[in-house]
Structure 1
Amino acid sequence: MSRPVLSVEEYLAEVLALVRPLPDTEAVPVREAAGRTLAEPVLARGDVPAFANSAMDGYAVRADDLVPGIVLHVAAEVLAGSGEDPAFGRCACVRIMTGAPVPSRADAVVPVEQTTPVEGGVRIDEVVPRGRHVRGAGEDVRAGDVVLEAGVRLGARELSAAAAAGAARVVCVRRPVVGVVATGDELVAPGLPLERGQIYESNATYLAAAITRDGGEAVVADAVRDTAEAFTAALDDLAGRCDVIVVSGGVSVGDADVTRIVLEAAGAGFRHVRMQPGKPQGWARWGDARVPVVALPGNPLSAAVSYETFVAPLVDRLHDRPTPGWSVARVTQGWSGPQERRQVIPVFLDVDESGQQVVKPAHRRGSASHMVTSLVGANALAAVAEGTAAVTPGDLVAVRRLP
């Protein structure tokens, strides 16, 4: 039976229609929330900074006391973390370190580089105006301000901001539980000896790591033999505990493609997508719970590109967050491609001297679907439009940075 031929966008729409955003939320310690999605905004518990503090190592002064060359008596010293608020009079100052609270009587800080130690104190070589080098209380955030909006994907920067605002826990969307099944008689667990015709299983490793990266919980089945019984048993096991199941391998039209055979019997929709790598794709619903199953090709690069193109947006939908968009970059090293399909190739994305994004292939042999190492040097994907037989230096291509 011939398969429908779809564009990338048409097939992505079918995949996204399989799921709805998860309604469940949970409070998570900030340090355990990387990759998660905020379900509720984070509000500042207090002003940030909580007090006026010094932006420089130097001397806290009263700006009105200063004239070039004046010698000030050093009345005290304040270190970061100190709770002291030393008083000082005219023609005096307080030695202060970066981040330390500025004394109440001071209104400026003279950096140490603009002073000279002398007998009896410190000489001010360059005067500063009131407020210079002082970080005001609440300068960054006021108490009650929204620091992070609901729907934000939490990375290192966002979690740092939440912690700085005093949040010990954040309310997140529940982690989607995603089952992973890699099929094939040729697959052997890494570390074991290989027999003729066998290869090490790597797709489940990529998929599980990417799911975890994207804020999901991966449940990985052992490599499944190419029998209908083994594949059915794996799906039955995962369907009882997963929101979605992702399968790699067996989606083509061969007589031994068990994934296709079993899922077609369950009413699957298998497609040819105008994309290279990743032409054969499929989806289904499994069991009484109608758990969504997304079936990817088995070649390593095909599986990885298919995950980033179709499954990552599905995980984003479960989190109820937007998927990062595409931008444009200039090609510095050309490559060839399949004219009849959109090519999605791992690339190294950089910025040139003018600030423009530039890309080159991550692998010298392009995006052949079996090239596992083409992903190692990649930090982005480039998409080349259908009808393009070759990409040459200077061409512009769509790019999306990998998380």
Structure 2
Amino acid sequence: MSIYQDLLDGNAKLSLVGLGYVGMPIAVEFAKHVKVIGFDINEGKIALYRQGVDPTKEVGDEAVASTSVEFTSDAAALEEARFHIVAVPTPVNQDKTPDLSPVIGASQTLGRHLKPGSIVVYESTVYPGVTEDVCVPILERESGLKCGVDFKAGYSPERINPGDKVHTLTTIRKIVSGQDAESLEEIKNVYDIVIAAGTYPVSTIKTAEAVKVVENSQRDINIAFMNELAMVFDRMGIDTSEVVDGMNTKWNALGFKPGLVGGHCIGVDPYYFTYEAEKLGYHSQIILAGRKVNDGMGEFVADAAIREMVQAGLAPAKAKVGVLGITFKENCPDVRNSKVEDILKRFAQYGIHCLVSDPWADASDAKAAYGVDLVPFEQMKDLDVVVIAVAHDKFAAMTSDDYKALFADKSDSEKVLVDVKSILNKSDFEDYRYWRL
């Protein structure tokens, strides 16, 4: 009897190791069909899930409250499962090298409770080779089992887009791989239980690992190109948004726009790819150049804002500045690797203190990550400068009058409005110092 069939028959359980923005939706979706153990070392997070609270806002409180997932921080519970999915984060270190400590730690924990006849599938973003060369040896050492004999391994890169309610887990085609034909078939069958869009098997685990880092590196490079154009057009006095809108009238335009590129995928994955490439003697000439451009966009935006302040006759260090948004993207509570931090850091170098408000971000997360004390939106008033850093729906739904009401009572020419995501109509602010990326 296969694990797949045992899962369907209720004779086996599936475990999720890591219940963040990726692991949580997977656990909840699988629990609609099979028995699921949701494990995370964060006891506070587990307590929230048990109370029916979804801090990720990916599936919602109602779905969490009604799910049959067995939430636990007790690793011993993993011994009850035979199909394991590891979905822990994989950040980068200060020097931009891969930080594999979460996936190593998860492998150690799972290995200590791994039972014969199991399958372990990694979803964490890694460079090609990590699953087989780093994770599997840890599983073998901790369990005393032999991979390929006592248990099997596979890799299926996560493709969840945090905050996206259209392209969700079940509607995105899933890349799957296994160490051999037998494991690949089992892994494909299990994921097919929940992936309505279907699965896409590839020949090796390394291939699947490469798919993940390459698809995000491609997006990173394309956005970097648009960001470089934005910097050049800023010097030329050309409106980048108008150029992009015109370009997108052609059938083969790619639709990319300039912006802040942060988060735990696009802003991180290219470093995983180039790290392994450099170990093999190849030094990236395009990917790292794109990363350099994108990593510098926060400072570029801040410098543009400071220039507008000066031209408006404001003393930057004395200006009252309000920043709307601190998460890494719109309609998502995730503050990890947010490039808004770079704007705030640059402002701080010029003695500029900012009020920061975000309807999605958790205040404790913002404080822990960046030392920022979020303020209620109601405190965003009598401002000299407004920076729209994140295009949350709440901010996009605001009218021009709503934005004008945020400013102090002074002449329009002394008011600075920085629209990073170009969500406003430029013509509504003709007398303001209006700037957009």
TM-score for the superposition, normalised by structure 1: 0.22
Q: Which has the higher helix share?
A: 2
Q: Which has the higher strand share?
A: 1
Flag the structure with larger Rg.
1
